[in-house]
Every structure is written in structure tokens, then in C-alpha cells.
Homo-oligomer: A and B are copies of this chain.
């Protein structure tokens, strides 16, 4: 059986999550997220991020968070500024455009926006003939495996606000960012950034499914459940996402434990590959690595491992993606490094 480094959702769910669900399965609860467990989870998240006044909604997946959250933030004639590599721009099948909104995308080689890039996007606006930019979309951890430092993201948000823009943060891997040494941000730091809306990924961090969307800006709170329902994000048995997040954010901070493991395994793999002389164009900030390898090496590795090609580099080399997760065993990392070593030698 090949070991898979495709992504952080090849795994099942963390056993503690399953157990918690099983333990709280036999009572009756109100539907559609009005249950006791969703309430408990929301309370715990608010405490963890230091956001007692936030509204928390549990949605089935990341695209739902992005589309529903952004839809609620945008008037019909407004658009979103995003890095070209942003998930909404590349891998959501045009979901935001299908909801009626243009993505004003900007090339950013490390997947991170800056004040200057925002200004570049804003300079495209003229008048009623051009889309009105209204929201900045960030991801933390980015799709390229990098992270914003606290300082970077604070400056970015401050700049956006002076320009009348709102900020939405896609946190599909927010746990890994908070567990990241490079980012150096606690959950409380994230809560204090002044974001208008963000979400905390559960699926990629040991959950079965489901993410927690956090609304900080009062403006976007009313009728948000209408948007959820209309965009098919409302779960009748809302309790089951609530239970997962209640467990993630229980006293032992399971969500961070799992994210730290994912990052540690990626760091171990990175160190091992660096030692072998493997090339990287960006330093990884969390649990994703994008090494550049000779095609022959890639093909050799593919015999025993699962991973995605990211892009061709010239005729002979390929940048690939290796992702570690809460479930990646240290032994597999070590075995993989050894196999890369063999492949390099043979290549």
C-alpha cells in the first residue's frame, strides 16, 4: 500500500473526535445548528480567540465558508481582491463567480498579499465601468505553504482598512498557522487582528467534515443564516459539526496538538530533503512542502507514494507537493526521506 502525501484529507478522523460524537449521540437536539453542542463549541471558540461578541456558524466545507462568507460581505456590484494563487481563484470551480462576483486577482509569487499589491488591485478601479473592490481575501497558511507573520498581516489589514476594504481570512489550515513557528501568532493574536470574517478549518485537521466560520464585523451578522440556507450550507443535524469543534476546542486544545504534529512532520521532512540537496523555492511555514525534483526522481517516488505534481519547471523538472497531517507517522517520514535519497542516487 502506497503511503499518501497528497493532502491532509486522505486520512479519516481523529479517534477522539469519533468517540466524542459517539458519546453524545443518543439525545434529541434542535436542528439546523440550534443544538447544545454547537452552542458549546461556539463558546469555546470565542474563548480561544478572545472574541466574546463574535457570531460562529458551522458549515460543511471550506468552499461553503468562502462563498457564503464572501457573498454576505459583498453587494452585487462588488468584487474581491485575492492573490492569483488564492483557493477561491484557482480551485473552487468558479464558485464565487457563480455567486456573481469578480475576483480581482494579483500575482503574488509567495501567495501572500501586501499593501503594494492591494494598491495595484485598487488602481484598476475607475468608475461604474469597473468592478468596485470591497473585500480582501487572504489565506493563512497560504496555498503555497507559506505563512504571514503577525507583523505582515497586521500591516496588510491596517492598509486595507484605510482603503475602505473588508478583510476575509480563509483559515482552512488556520490551526497549522497558529501552530507554526514562522507565523508566531496565537489564536488570541488572530482574534485581535481586526478581521471582518474568518474560518477555522476542521476537515484538514482531523475532523470528519465541517469548518467554523467566525463573524467579527457586526455589519455581516444579520440574516447570515439566510445566506447559509440559500447557498445550501445549512446542516439539519448541525450537532455533528458542533460536536467536532467542541472536542477540538476542549481544554486539551486537541486542534493545536494535531496541527503541531502535522507541522513537525513537515519540518522533519523538509530538513531531511534539504540535507539531500533538494531544491525549494519557498520556505514552508506549516505542513505543506513544494520541493523541485527531476522528473525521473518524481516518477520513481510515485511507485510507492501518492502526491500531486504542482507545476512543470522546464522540460526536466517538476515541482511537487508533499503534505503531512495529524496522522502522518514519523516512521513514514523517515522511510520517505530514505527513498528520496535512493531515487536521487539512481536519478
Residues of A at the B interface (CB closer than 8 Å) are 1, 3-4, 6-7, 9-13, 15, 18, 21-22, 24-32, 60-64, 67-68, 71-72, 75-77, 79, 90-95, 97-98, 100-103, 124, 127-132, 203-204, 208-209, 223, 225-237, 239-240, 306
Are B240 and A209 in contact, CB atoms less than 8 angstroms apart? yes
Main secondary structure of the interface of A (DSSP, over half): loop
Are B31 and A226 in contact, CB atoms less than 8 angstroms apart? no
Are B6 and A30 in contact, CB atoms less than 8 angstroms apart? yes
Are B31 and A10 in contact, CB atoms less than 8 angstroms apart? yes
Which of chain B's residues have a CB closer than 8 A to the CB of A225?
127-128
Are A102 and B97 in contact, CB atoms less than 8 angstroms apart? yes
Closest to A311 in B: B123
CA distance A228 to B124 in the complex (A): 19
Offer 6 A-B interface pairs, CB within 8 angstroms, sorted by A. Answer: A13-B237, A60-B232, A79-B94, A94-B101, A209-B237, A232-B232
Closest to A228 in B: B128
CA distance A188 to B29 in the complex (A): 34
Are B61 and A223 in contact, CB atoms less than 8 angstroms apart? no
CA distance A101 to B76 in the complex (A): 12
Which of chain B's residues have a CB closer than 8 A to the CB of A235?
60-61, 209
Are A7 and B24 in contact, CB atoms less than 8 angstroms apart? no
Which of chain B's residues have a CB closer than 8 A to the CB of A306?
28
From A3, A10, A101, residue with most partner B Cβ within 10 Å: A10
CA distance A90 to B7 in the complex (A): 36
Which of chain B's residues have a CB closer than 8 A to the CB of A77?
93-94, 98, 223, 226-227, 230
Are A93 and B131 in contact, CB atoms less than 8 angstroms apart? yes
Q: In the complex, what's the smallest C-beta–C-beta distance from A178 to chain B, in angstroms? A: 20
**With A18-B25, A98-B231, A130-B93: A9-B236 Cβ-Cβ less than 8 Å:** yes
Which 3 A-B residue pairs are closest in the complex by CB-CB distance?
A: A12-B25, A128-B225, A77-B226
Given contacts A12-B239, A97-B102, 17 further A-B contacts (CB under 8 A): A6-B31, A9-B237, A10-B28, A10-B29, A12-B24, A13-B21, A13-B237, A60-B232, A61-B235, A62-B236, A63-B234, A77-B98, A93-B230, A94-B101, A98-B230, A132-B226, A209-B235
Are A232 and B128 in contact, CB atoms less than 8 angstroms apart? no
Are A236 and B61 in contact, CB atoms less than 8 angstroms apart? yes
